[in-house]
Amino acid sequence: MSGHDVAGNGAGLPEPAVRVPTRVVAYREAEPRADSRALAVETPVNLVYGSVPYAVMMTTPADLEDFAYGFSLTEGIVESADEIRGVALESGREGEQGGVRLLVDLAPGRLREHLARRRALSGRTGCGVCGVEDLASLPVADMRAAPAIRVTVAAIERALSALSEAQVLNHETRAVHAAAWADLDGALVAVREDVGRHNALDKLIGALMRSGRDPATGFAVITSRCSFEMVEKAARLGAAVIVAISAPTSLALARARGHDMTLCAIARSDTLTVFCGGERLVMPG
């Protein structure tokens, strides 16, 4: 269900979390208490296509092959998983601050198209539009027909209930976002975590691409706020329903309506707020 299948083991790649010594200060005690704390690792990841660097994103170094696939799709570099022939990982060279390179091997025709439209992108943690030079360049996913699925409220409740326990890295660090895919019964199929909310969703999308899962077989759940970039990424996958723990932005709602998606947010243990696409939800009883 959760990954960590390529990073943090071998090839000199960093672990997704590191434990550091700390001191806990109580306001009414004279001496601090020695302790330790796990921190989420944040490392620069350079995505390289055809030996040409494309982007540096600040990510948690886990599930990086999934990240390469999902990022490539949501950036519009590929249209499907079979346009990626392979992904190789390299640890950064001396003087590169412990970074990682993701060498993405594109099919020849796709590589030519990519190099013709390449743009520079200097990434930040969870940044969705760094490098975009004008308003007309804001990403808009292809208008795909949203799957005609129906999701029960009980399935959403089941997925939300299971998500907390499935966030392994967040339990350790309390510092990362998660993106999950649930089937129509609410069972979690895949969970990916990252310091950046966009990265977590890209990792999840990559995992679904690699497994060949049909977007009509479930829905996405994210632990962060739902910005327009998150909606665009989900739409690029072909997801019809997205459930967010926090609130959406106005542009996220507009984009969800434009893509005929169901957007639920402010998801709690007892309530769910439906912002659009409520006709896909099946109420209890």
Catalytic residue set? 127
Ranges of beta strands (E only) in the chain are: 17-24, 33-40, 43-49, 52-59, 84-91, 100-106, 121-122, 151-152, 177-183, 188-194, 218-222, 241-244, 262-265, 273-276, 281-282
Q: How far is CA 133 from CA 119, 139, 237, 284, in A?
A: 10, 12, 25, 47
How far apart, in whole angstroms, are the C-alpha atoms of residue 13 and residue 15?
A: 7
Q: Any residues with CB less than 8 A from the CB of 60 and at least 6 apart, and which?
A: 16, 40, 41, 42, 43, 169, 176, 193, 194, 195, 196, 199
How far apart, in whole angstroms, are the C-alpha atoms of residue 285 and residue 145?
A: 29
Q: Compute the half-sphere exposure of residue 46: CA atoms within 13 Å on the CB side of its CA.
A: 15
Element (H, E) at 154: helix 153-166
User: Three-state DSSP class for 244?
Assistant: strand
Tell me whether residue 249 is exposed, middle or buried, using C-beta atoms within 10 angstroms of its C-beta: 0 to 12, 13 to 18, 19 or more.
middle
How far apart, in whole angstroms, are the C-alpha atoms of residue 143 and residue 141?
A: 6
| Residue 147 near residue 238, CB atoms below 8 Å | yes
